[in-house]
């Protein structure tokens, strides 16, 4: 019997000045969703079912940027994307441009299980969801008052705005920050040309190995605030935002364009397979050597029950648990 393990994330790149109550709220959501996965694994659930269930839970909570609470496009609408991968046979499914499907990760699962394809997008993905009987809702279900306010700030700054969770009471400050890319802000770190104080992508993901040694990973996001319609990031791209094989399962978060260029998730597996590296060693190498000037983070589990994470920015919302009783939820180093 293999040892099960699970890791989850809610986004990399966290404002070091994030209010304490927001930090605690994030930890509560992460702990609750992590427990969903732990309970399922203890009952003998398969890795693929667990990653879908956990990401559905994350999609349903408006705190993070996936499902309800997703970032808004320039037009004020939501376009979501998700992917899922089964380490057994490296089967996968992915969707982009989804605007009415309540849980995009479940649609990605159906693309994998019920279609001859690996990836569907926009109208084709929406029609497939209806054909399969998935729950659909009006686009307004995904839109929150906070997001509408932050989209307004982003438009005023003529910028793609990342941290739309900053309280609206600070809108003047937020707007000024969004309009600037001066490295002197905060701790000096800039992500995608913006000060870290307004950056928090909050994509969600889960990586699991079950008691049979099978791995799976899933990632889901609403993308970037004020993004162009039709923009696709790393989250639905197999090998970039999501990957699973016999060696490991990986879910990434951060600057999507940098993750795409580096095929970050697949590279973790490649370093393990071709260099014989352990899981944490492979994660550390890829975060340090493969992102060039980009900022990102990732979570991973190995086929033997290890968990690992890494990020090269100021923090990452994350949690993990293993069969031997270890459980942790954290944000900072």
> Residue 296 maps to which CATH number?
3.60.20.30
DSSP 132: T
Say if 184 falls within a structural domain. Answer: no
Q: Is residue 47 predicted with pLDDT exceeding 80?
A: yes
pLDDT of 127: 98
Does 254 show up as a binding residue in the annotation? yes
Q: Residue 219: which of 202, 200, 195 has the closest Cα?
A: 202
Strand runs labelled E in 210-256: 215-221, 242-244, 248-254
At 178 the pLDDT is: 36
- Does residue 189 belong to any structural domain of this protein? no
Q: Is 255 among the annotated ligand-binding positions?
A: yes
Q: How confident is the model at residue 173 (pLDDT cuts 50, 70, 90)?
A: very low
Q: How confident is the model at residue 186 (pLDDT cuts 50, 70, 90)?
A: very low
Residue 229, Cβ density class (10 Å: 0-12 exposed, 13-18 middle, ≥19 buried): exposed
pTM above 0.85, yes or no: yes
Q: Establish if 182 belongs to a structural domain.
A: no
Residue 233 labeled ligand binder: yes
Q: What's the structural domain count of the chain?
A: 1
Top-confidence range, 11-20, 104-113, 169-178, 221-230 = 104-113
Separation of alpha carbons 76 and 299, rounded Å = 31
Predicted confidence band of residue 314 (pLDDT cuts 50, 70, 90): confident
User: Known binder of ligand: residue 232?
Assistant: yes
Q: Which helix (H) or strand (E) holds 205?
A: strand 204-209
- Asked if residue 176 has pLDDT above 50, the reply is no
Nearest to 201 by CA among 233, 170, 175, 228: 233
Does residue 123 register a pLDDT over 90? yes
176 within domain boundaries: no
156 annotated among ligand-binding-site residues: no
Residue 106's domain comprises 5-140+199-330
Q: Tokens 């839109």 identify what position?
A: 143
**Is 32 known as a binding-site position?**
no
Count CB atoms within 10 A of the CB of residue 148: 13
Active site annotation includes 304: no
Average pLDDT, the chain: 87
Domain-located, residue 146: no
Least confident of 21-30, 189-198, 222-231, 292-301: 189-198
Average pLDDT of span 281-293: 95
* Secondary structure element (H or E) that encloses residue 5, with its range: strand 5-12
Is 24 within the bounds of a domain?
yes
42 pLDDT above the threshold of 60: yes
Looking at the predicted structure, is the pLDDT value of residue 225 above 90? no
Catalytic residue among 203, 215, 219, 263: 203
Closest CA to 259 of 7, 9, 5, 6: 9
């Amino acid at each position: 019997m293999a040892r099960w393990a699970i890791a989850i994330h809610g986004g990399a790149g966290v404002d070091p000045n994030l209010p304490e109550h927001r930090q605690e709220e994030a930890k509560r959501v992460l702990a609750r969703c992590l427990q969903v996965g732990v309970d399922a694994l203890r009952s003998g659930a398969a890795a693929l079912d667990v990653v879908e269930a956990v990401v559905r839970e994350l999609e349903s909570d408006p705190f993070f940027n996936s499902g309800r609470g997703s970032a808004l496009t320039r037009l004020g609408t939501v376009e979501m994307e998700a992917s899922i991968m089964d380490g057994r046979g490296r089967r996968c499914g992915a969707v982009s441009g989804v605007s009415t499907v309540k849980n995009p990760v479940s649609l990605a699962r159906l693309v994998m299980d019920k279609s001859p394809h690996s990836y569907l997008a926009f109208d084709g993905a929406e029609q497939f969801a209806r054909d399969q009987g998935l729950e659909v809702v009006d686009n307004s279900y995904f839109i929150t008052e906070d997001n509408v306010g932050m989209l307004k700030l982003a438009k005023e700054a003529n910028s793609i705005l990342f941290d739309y969770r900053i309280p609206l009471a600070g809108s003047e400050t937020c707007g000024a920050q969004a309009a600037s890319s001066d490295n002197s802000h905060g701790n000096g770190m800039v992500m995608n040309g913006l000060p870290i104080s307004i950056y928090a992508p909050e994509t969600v993901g889960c990586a699991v190995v079950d008691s049979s040694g099978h791995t799976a990973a899933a990632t889901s996001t609403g993308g970037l605030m004020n993004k162009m319609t039709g923009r696709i990031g790393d989250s639905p791209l197999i090998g970039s935002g999501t990957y699973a094989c016999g060696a490991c399962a990986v879910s990434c978060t951060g600057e999507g364009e940098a993750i795409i260029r580096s095929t970050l998730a697949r590279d973790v597996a490649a370093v393990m397979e071709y260099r014989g590296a352990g899981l944490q060693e492979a994660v550390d190498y890829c975060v340090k050597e493969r992102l060039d000037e980009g900022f990102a983070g990732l979570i991973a589990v190995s086929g033997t029950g290890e968990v690992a994470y890494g990020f090269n920015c100021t923090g990452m919302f994350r949690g993990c648990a293993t069969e031997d009783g270890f459980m942790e939820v954290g944000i900072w180093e």
